[in-house]
Amino acid sequence: MSSQPISTTQAAHSQAAAGLSCRDLVSIRDLRPQDIEDIFHLAGLMKARPSRFRAALAGKQIVMFFEKPSLRTRLTFEAGMASMGGWTSFVDQTHGRLDGREKLSDIAHNLERWVDGIILRTFAHRTVEGMAEHACIPVINALSELEHPCQALADYFTLRERFGDLKKICLAYVGDGNNVAHSLLLTCASVGSKIRIATPPQYAPDAHIVADARDIAAHTGATIEIVTDPREAVFGVDAVYTDAWTSMGHEHESEERDRIFPPYQMNRELVAGAAPHAVFMHCLPAHRGMEITDEVIDSERSVVFDQAESRLHVQKAILLLLLGGEASRLPVRSAHA
């Protein structure tokens, strides 16, 4: 597995202090290509030298409101904040929507007076948008029904560690055209890579997301292909990715989806069409025997747990770049670090 250079100049010091061009991370569309490069570079530094960031967010506090269950998202944000000296408060909203008790703008104006950032895992994307509109502190989308930006950024960080130049690889995604597929499309477009999405016709990605991805790709040189044949999608690719056939909130459709999606199962026969060096990806949790077989997810070419680890490093970088911190506490890069 290749790795990015740990240090070359003073740039990391000023990069973390300057932050991202956006105030919030509601959608991958909020990020410029340079922002994604900055996130990846900083995540690489944090992965290689975590001890140098132990006080980077000392005194900073975030609150997390989750309307959906979580393992990786919650724990990586909590562990990430703690590892940088920050503090996290978790509010379980799985028994009621965030704005079910009081107006969302009222919640936002309370939170901005108490904490430094807000992380939301919601059913409705408009909840994240509304919080970002009303709160004057950073808001991070930790999953909505439209996008999962932190996941896609971690996935492409994983691919960059494995293959190096993202412009030279092709990722195939097979299955439901869901929030993960949307964020993968937009991230691919921003980094100038290549992606093929294969879904049943009635479960294709959102047309607006596809159009936005193609608009971005026109400037970055990325290639976006939307097909229905999973074998066409995986032919010769460097990575094959899948996700659950039925996302949270669509459980009432599970029987119908279970009848439609078997041709898109990520199994030995399907991945045989990929390049010999191809890796296998899943954002987890996996429904083994459904969208992916044990033989594939447990193989030596599976990087699912690398993806899960990348969530920690990438989210730490996002937190630091959005929340800031005392620049004097950030590590200075040198040619010998």
- Annotated catalytic residue: which of 311, 313, 315, 333? 311
Residue 301 annotated as catalytic: no
Residue 306: closest CA among 158, 166, 195: 158
Q: Which amino acid is at 203?
A: Y
Residue 121 annotated as catalytic: yes
Residue 109 annotated as catalytic: no
Residue 170 annotated as catalytic: no
- Annotated catalytic residue: which of 29, 72, 74, 121? 121
Give one DSSP letter per residue of 129-167, joined into a string. HHHHHH-SS-EEES--SS--HHHHHHHHHHHHHHHS-GG
- Annotated catalytic residue: which of 29, 148, 196, 333? 148
- Annotated catalytic residue: which of 188, 243, 265, 333? 243
- Annotated catalytic residue: which of 15, 151, 265, 315? 151
Query: Cβ(137)–Cβ(254) under 8 Å?
Result: no
Taking residue 278's Cβ as centre, other Cβ atoms within 10 Å add up to 21
Residue 151 annotated as catalytic: yes
Query: Cβ(187)–Cβ(36) under 8 Å?
Result: yes
Q: Which amino acid is at 226?
A: I
Sign of CA dihedral 183, 185, 186, 189: positive
C-alpha 211/C-alpha 160 separation (Å) is 25
- Annotated catalytic residue: which of 29, 283, 307, 315? 283
Provide the 8-state DSSP code for 205. P
Residue 287 annotated as catalytic: no
Structure tokens at 119: 């992380």
C-alpha 112/C-alpha 129 separation (Å) is 15
Query: At how many degrees (to 10) do helices 304-323 and 149-163 cross?
Result: 120
C-alpha 264/C-alpha 329 separation (Å) is 48
Give one DSSP letter per residue of 88-121, joined into a string. EEEEE-TTS-TTSSS-HHHHHHHHTTT-SEEEEE
Structure tokens at 78: 């909590």
Helices assigned H by DSSP within the chain: 11-18, 33-48, 72-83, 104-111, 125-134, 149-163, 179-191, 207-220, 230-234, 254-260, 268-271, 294-297, 304-323
Enumerate the active-site residues.
121, 148, 151, 243, 283, 311
